[in-house]
């Protein structure tokens, strides 16, 4: 048995550049990744980063310019989509409006020539999987957006694929329904036990649902890891900036002892942070620290403490966001939770305050 259910080895996909005749642009640029059987794996990134093109190459809708796609260790080469053990769910659902739900779900089985006697029980089973039992006779227009999305899932699952590919399937739903469907999809994936490969530009969606995530930009897979790895230990500025909110404090390396680094900010300010690589003194770096890991006028002492002035306050219910300008003129954003009844602001705009955070919460980024 192959070690991975899906593998991309040094895959490149080039397209003609519409703005420059005769030139090519790499939509996917030497991507290598491996996906385990039964894994919920997300391709995350902004528009144009190569995530959908990667998905389409796994499906067989696009063929690599170079490199290879493997399914269960078998090179796909020019294998057409209908001969690959995968099914795709699109954002648009693509349901046939004139057909009943039962006929929509059965369509793929009919095209494959599955015996008629076997189709009805498989349709019933698929609709039960997505919690729509008894909906066979309804039409798509009689269903809500979330129910239509589940029908699209049932239509893919009824074929019993080894891999289910999902191309931003929740993008057309409103925020509340999208959050509900995220949990339903993850639960469904665990119940059916097949591999889901999910394309999204929504960071929270990827963090919520995925076993592992590949963060992509400009055709490259910049970092691959679980949600905790990606959020807590980003390997570059783009990943730190794209996943959640991050403070970037720029300076130059003063000293390094093991993983502990001191960075000089100017105006006599030193920030201490963690780095896994060896850096030369004087190297220009960014110190990345999440706003929720910083504090204003903390009761406990931290190994990074700076004096600054509050320049902005935004109350958003669950927490309050502060902008604090340091003596080095750098802005640090602080997120304080409103976790006690009648929580009040810890400072007012214009107040001089102490901003603090632990070195273990701060990461050195060189690119």
- Residue 343: predicted pLDDT: 59
| Residue 281 burial (CB count, 10 A) | 11
The model's confidence at residue 41, banded by pLDDT at 50, 70 and 90, is very high
Residue 342: the pLDDT is 60
| pLDDT, tens only, 253-293 | 999 999 999 999 887 889 999 998 899 999 999 999 999 99
pLDDT digits (tens, 9 = 90+) for 337-359: 887 666 567 888 999 999 999 99
209: pLDDT confidence band, cut at 50, 70 and 90?
very high
Is 93 a residue whose pLDDT tops 80? Answer: no
Does 102 score more than 80 pLDDT? Answer: yes
Task: Using pLDDT thresholds of 50, 70 and 90, give the confidence band for residue 147.
Answer: confident
Rg (CA), the chain: 25
Task: Give the pTM.
Answer: 0.88
What is the chain's percent helix, strand, coil content, to nearest 5?
25, 35, 40
């Amino acid at each position: 048995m192959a070690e991975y259910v899906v593998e991309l080895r040094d895959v490149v996909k080039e397209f003609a550049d519409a703005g420059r005749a005769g030139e090519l642009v790499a939509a996917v640029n030497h991507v290598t990744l491996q996906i385990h059987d039964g894994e919920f794996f997300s391709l995350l990134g902004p528009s144009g980063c190569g995530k959908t093109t990667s998905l389409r190459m796994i499906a067989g809708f696009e063929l690599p310019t170079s490199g290879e796609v493997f399914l269960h260790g078998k090179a796909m080469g020019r294998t057409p989509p209908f001969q690959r053990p995968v099914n795709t769910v699109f954002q648009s659902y693509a349901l046939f409006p004139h057909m009943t739900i039962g006929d929509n779900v059965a369509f793929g089985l009919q095209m494959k020539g599955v015996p008629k006697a076997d189709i009805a029980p498989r349709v019933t089973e698929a609709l039960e999987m997505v919690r729509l039992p008894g909906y066979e006779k309804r039409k798509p227009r009689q269903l809500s957006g979330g129910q239509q999305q589940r029908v699209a899932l049932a239509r893919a699952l009824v074929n019993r694929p080894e891999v289910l590919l999902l191309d931003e399937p929740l993008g057309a739903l409103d925020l509340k329904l999208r959050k509900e469907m995220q949990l339903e999809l993850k639960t469904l994936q665990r119940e059916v036990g097949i591999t889901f490969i999910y394309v999204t530009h929504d960071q929270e969606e990827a963090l919520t649902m995925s076993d592992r995530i590949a963060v992509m930009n400009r055709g490259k897979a910049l970092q691959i890891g679980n949600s905790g790895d990606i959020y807590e230990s980003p390997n570059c500025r783009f990943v730190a900036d794209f996943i959640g909110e991050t403070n970037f404090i720029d300076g130059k390396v003063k000293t390094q002892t093991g993983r502990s680094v001191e960075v000089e900010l100017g105006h006599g300010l030193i920030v201490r942070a963690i780095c896994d690589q060896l850096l030369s003194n004087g190297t220009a770096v960014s110190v990345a620290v999440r706003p929720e890991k910083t504090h204003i006028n903390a009761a406990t002492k931290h190994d990074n403490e700076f004096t600054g002035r509050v320049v902005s306050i935004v109350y958003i219910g669950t927490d309050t966001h502060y902008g604090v300008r340091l003596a080095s003129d750098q802005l640090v954003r602080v997120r304080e939770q409103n976790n006690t009844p009648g929580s009040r602001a810890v400072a007012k705009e214009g107040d001089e305050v102490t901003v603090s955070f632990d070195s273990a919460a701060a990461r050195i980024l060189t690119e």
